[in-house]
Amino acid sequence: MGGRETLLERRRDDYGALRITENGEGYRFLYFGELTEQSCVHVADPAWLEYDYTRAMLLGTWWARPHPDMTLLGLGGGALANALVRHFEPSRVQIVELREEVLALAREWLGLSDDPRLQVHIGCAEKYIGNAPASCDLLLVDLYLEGGLSRLQLQAEFFRKCQQALRPGGVLVINQWQMGETGLPYAAAMLADLFGDQFLQVQVEEGNILLFVPAVGEPPLPLDKPAMQAWAVGLQPRLGYSLEPYITNLHRAADVLSRHDIG
């Protein structure tokens, strides 16, 4: 997004520098360090999702049961949490955020919802999820630091615990980076070893790849694109944007893995 940005706030914690900026088009940005744009929030509508990858993450709600318990690992600016609470009727949204200052900035500058269903826990995602077996119906993993992917996003045991945190019928959504121009997530071999051919994926323009994984012991997620497209059409007036492009590009991860002799 272009345009000059004005610095609104600068803070530092044990993990590094944090900045809030605003441009002339009504958007505020959360930066980790000096260069890493971590989140973008529309001031007039903090539940608006500007990034493709956050919009694509919403596809996980298609498979979730009605009024699901949701867990989000990584708060960022809070736009994804706001969207989940406003548009998808969860019973609750539990958020785990490592940095207390990130939460403070989201509340003070980025319009984090005060809906009582949204509960934020400050602490380590690995420790939290390891103590939360069968605790949620939808688990969204969006863990990034100033240097990029959190180390947890490359650890098999962490993702094993994430999958175990799902109730029967639950869905795990993982935001990973793409490995070059391969169409593969960074942790492709590990993920294939963990989940086999049970998961779906979609690639978005920012370079992210979103993965959708069923709970332990569940069959592969159904991929009924016509039904999903109809669902997206119904959501569009509420969201203000369409999820149809991500559904169109959604496919079995095994299709890509097999072309690279992975899995």
Confirm whether 142 is a catalytic residue: yes
> Cα separation of 90 and 83, whole Å?
11
For Cα atoms 153, 52, 17, give the angle at the middle one, nearest 5 degrees. Answer: 55
- By the 8 A CB rule, do 49 and 235 touch? no
DSSP code at position 178: B
| Region class of 109: left (phi > 0), else alpha (psi between -120 and 50), else beta | alpha
Cα distance between residue 78 and residue 126, in whole Å? 20
Which of the residues 52, 69, 137, 142 is marked catalytic?
A: 142
Pull the structure tokens for residue 225. Answer: 């694109």
Q: Of the candidates 155, 251, 247, which has an alpha carbon nearest to the alpha carbon of residue 201?
A: 251
Name which of 111, 56, 108, 125 is nearest 81 in CA terms: 111
Residues with catalytic roles: 142
